[in-house]
Amino acid sequence: MGAWKWLVRQTVPVLLVWPGGSWGFGVLCGLVSVAGGIGVLWFFGTEPGSLRLRRSERSAGLPVCVVVVAYGPSPYMLSALPGRHCPSGESQWRYIPGTGSTFLAYVVTVALVGWTLWRVLSARAELQVVRGSGRG
């Protein structure tokens, strides 16, 4: 077993007994991923000719938001699920109760909150276009 898989298999049972259980942990991970997506959009909003400090913030913050925050929870939860080629007799590969519902809550949260934010931002941009043309 690799170090990543070992770390996940040791920490997931502890995280799933937090208040809210597996569903709460899935929702929390979904919100973290959406926050990472918002961070990516915020860092991409930097103008190319802006201050040097702002450009350095962008070059440091964008990878953190993409790799750690937006993408991090999904491989963590996928690693908690048992793999196809896991020997069923070994206790380290056993199914951890609650991981399926955790992943389901994560996917639903990312989909609903992400779609809602996308709709709000696109409506806001459309409203700015209408106001700029003098029709609103």
Per-residue pLDDT tens over the stretch 96-119 = 778 888 889 999 999 999 889 888
pTM of the predicted model, to two decimals? 0.74
Cβ atoms of residues 85 and 107 within 8 Å: no
- The pLDDT of residue 112: 93
Cβ atoms of residues 40 and 62 within 8 Å: yes
* Model confidence band, residue 11 (pLDDT cutoffs 50, 70, 90): confident
* Model confidence band, residue 92 (pLDDT cutoffs 50, 70, 90): low
Cα gap 22→60, rounded to integer Å? 33
- The pLDDT of residue 27: 92
pLDDT tens for 50-89 read 677 666 777 777 777 777 777 778 788 777 776 655 666 5
Angle value at C-alpha 83, between 82 and 89, nearest 5 degrees:
70
Cβ atoms of residues 39 and 65 within 8 Å: yes
- The pLDDT of residue 109: 93
Cα gap 25→12, rounded to integer Å? 10
